[in-house]
Amino acid sequence: MTAKKNGKKKRFLRVKVLLVVLVLLVAAFIALCYLTPSESSESGLTSSGEIKDLELPAPVAGEQIIRHTGYTLSYNEEYEVPSYVAYELTRDEVIGGGEREDSFKSDPDVRTGSASLADYKGSGFDRGHMAPAADFKWSDEAMSDTFYLSNMCPQEPSFNRGIWADLEAVVRTMAYDNGKVYVVTGPVLTDGPYETIGENEVAVPKRFYKTVLDYTDPDIKAIGFVLDNEGSDKALQSFAMSIDDVEEITGLDFYPALPDDIEESVESTYSTSEWNFTEYVPNGETSDAAAAAYVGHEDSMKDKVFNAILDVFVEIKTEIFKSLGLTETAKRFGLL
């Protein structure tokens, strides 16, 4: 009799242990579902950044959209400059090892004709890149395409070679640190009239803007900048503002492909403390005397293994919820 009771107690204890282990495993599974990236939904909207043309602002009425290797621009015929230039910049692209070869040229894809080399000659202004050549070292074709004059604006030399170049280098650091960012940049075209140069009367903008979106887990964030077309010794942080503020100044609608709730959240606020303002300098190169060197590190084997495990788990959890017929419920609670 005693032996039977002891046997029942042992079985009961084993069941309790199994139930506790099961509860812990379920809890761990749910926690990992929340902590790991989401799979693509049917709409293509994901928290890990896989949205088609996420970098593109809303179309500007009457303007031609032109796609070149690695970037897209909207051409303003009235002012002969782009209203915006947009592109995705990844860590691997930042590391790209191509060499710059200047090849400024008119853009044959502009139906009405772009600015010309003659417009800039003797003007005293630099042909200032909007999508900078250094962001496209990953491809000779992409690098060459950045030298189309449709990607240029007249810039004061002290601005183009100074604080504007500094901001471009900082954006490369942002891309390296976060793995991927979405950049939109261009002239402010709402505060004319403007000085013009050349036979094509290319407008000389008074200000330039740049917006940067990090749409990767866990910290989705965005930041904007508006700078006068002149040299400055001020810290770049002093020119920072929210995306909403840049939209008000430029009249453009940035990142409209974002889910509405996320767009409202990331565009209404910004924090300079969430971004690294060190200028990116590739390995083996030296920085300008005024610039702080930044050399990125390679992912460790530990990081690579961890990321691989996360990728596998994302696939597993997706299949589990799918087999249980709970895909929509899981999405509703943020598990997918």
Active-site residue list: 129
Q: Strand pairing of 64-68 and 126-129?
A: unpaired
Six-digit token string for 186: 């261009």
Kindly state the DSSP code that residue 151 receives in the 8-state scheme. Answer: G
Phi-psi region of 49 (alpha: psi -120 to 50; beta: other; left: phi over 0): left
Cα dihedral: 82, 86, 89, 93 (round 10): -50
Q: Strand pairing of 81-90 and 152-155?
A: unpaired
Positive or negative, the Cα torsion across 148, 54, 251, 166? negative
- Decide if 229 contacts 204 (C-beta within 8 A): yes
d(CA 123, CA 2): 104
For residue 45, the tally of other CB atoms under 10 A from its CB is: 16
Residue type, 310: L
Kindly state the DSSP code that residue 161 receives in the 8-state scheme. Answer: I
Q: What DSSP assignment string belongs to 53-105?
A: TTTPPPPPTT-EEEEETTEEEEEETTTTEEEEEEEEEEHHHHH--PPP----B
- Decide if 151 contacts 131 (C-beta within 8 A): yes
Three-state DSSP class for 154?
A: strand
For 9, 60, 69, 70, 291, the CA distances from 73, given in Å and listed in that order, are 74, 11, 11, 10, 29
Residue with tokens 């400059």: 81
